Amino acid sequence: MKLPSVPVPDLYVKDLTLRSPEGRCLLSIDHLHVAAGESLAIKGPSGAGKSTLLFAIAGIIPVSSGTLAWGDADLAQMSDNARTQFRRDSLGIIFQDHLLFEELSAAQNSSLAALYNRPHTRTNIAARARQLLHDLGIKDHDRPYVDSYSGGERQRIAVARALAADPQVILADEPTASLDRETADRLIADLTRRAKHDGRTLICVSHDQALLAAADRVITIQEGCISADTGRHRDTRGDNDV
């Protein structure tokens, strides 16, 4: 069930600033490099700007100045349409508050990408979504309304949605927040395995110690700046060995 994919690019961030519409500085990152295939965890106090950073990396929030590049493609220079296409082709995003479509079933939610992706990928996406739901332990995928699922189940449906198109890069905002320990551990193992074995890049915002421990590298965000960067550094351009 392989989907056609572009090779995973590295992420380069340089002198990035991001301001709120009112002009308040929300993010200020001098330098960040995430190699392809690396798993990075982001932690920090509430309101520090972790979700904002994730949104910026996804090209959802336009940056105010600086460079934010996936490979050669600088999101800061790209049009809104091009950034959207980049998300469609390369990213899988798990949002902090799941953001599911209540009026759709679990199967429909997790295969949402099939609706707007190229027609020939549709069956693959839908089949992968079902397999993922199954692997993540979600039963009866066709219950008409997803809001009858528990918080943890909804979170897993959101995970299935993010992974259904087999993205090169997985962005996750607190993916284990509403899961019990056992389910959380399984998910962590699954996500990190994707990074290690399938060469996917994984960037997670989390407070979950297990996730932080499983990640190749942990950065801490405080008041919009990176205050700490620990773990196996692979900070050289083009260096791809583990």
Ligand X SMILES: Nc1ncnc2c1ncn2[C@@H]1O[C@H](COP(=O)(O)OP(=O)(O)OP(=O)(O)O)[C@@H](O)[C@H]1O
Residues that bind another protein (CB under 8 A): 55, 58, 60-61, 80-81, 84-89, 91, 93, 95, 99, 101-104, 108, 112-116, 118-119, 122, 161
When binding is defined by CB under 5 A, the residue of 51, 108, 109, 168 that contacts Mg ion is: 51
Looking up tokens 């395995």, which residue turns up? 193
Instruction: Determine which helix (DSSP H) or strand (DSSP E) holds 230, and give its type and residue range.
Output: strand 225-231
**Pick 85 or 227: Cβ nearer another protein:** 85
Contact 160, 132 (CB under 8 A): yes
Q: Give the helix/strand (H/E) hosting 186.
A: helix 181-198
Q: Which does 119 bind (CB under 5 to 8 A by kind): ligand X, Mg ion, another protein, none?
A: another protein
25 vs 112, which CB is nearer to ligand X?
25
Shortest CB 29 distance to ligand X, Å: 13
97/198 with CB nearer ligand X = 97
The least distance separating ligand X from the CB of residue 43, rounded to whole angstroms, comes to 9
CA-to-CA distance for 101 and 87, rounded, in angstroms? 19
Minimum Å gap between C-beta 10 and ligand X is 23
Cβ 218 to another protein shortest distance, Å? 25
CB of 22 to ligand X, least distance (A): 6
CA distance 85 to 83: 5
Q: Which residue is nearest to Mg ion (CB)?
A: 51
CA distance 100 to 179: 16
At residue 224, what is the residue type? G
Residues of the shown chain interacting with ligand X in the complex, contacts defined by CB under 6 A: 20-21, 26, 44, 46-52, 96
Min separation Cβ 173 and ligand X, Å: 7
Query: 121 CB contacts (<8 Å, ≥6 apart)?
Result: 3, 4, 114, 165
Could you count the other beta carbons within 10 Å of the beta carbon of residue 42?
A: 26
Q: Which two tokens stand for residue 220?
A: 């801490």
49's contact among another protein, Mg ion, ligand X, none, with CB below 5 to 8 A by partner kind, is ligand X
Residue 13 host element (H or E):
strand 11-19
Residue found under tokens 């980049």: 86
Our CB check for ligand X shows the closer of 132 and 159 to be 159
Would you give the distance in Å from CA 158 to the centre of its chain? Answer: 11
Q: Does 110 bind Mg ion (CB under 5 A)?
A: no
Give the nearer residue to ligand X in terms of CB position, either 34 or 57.
57
Residue ranges binding Mg ion (CB under 5 A): 51, 96
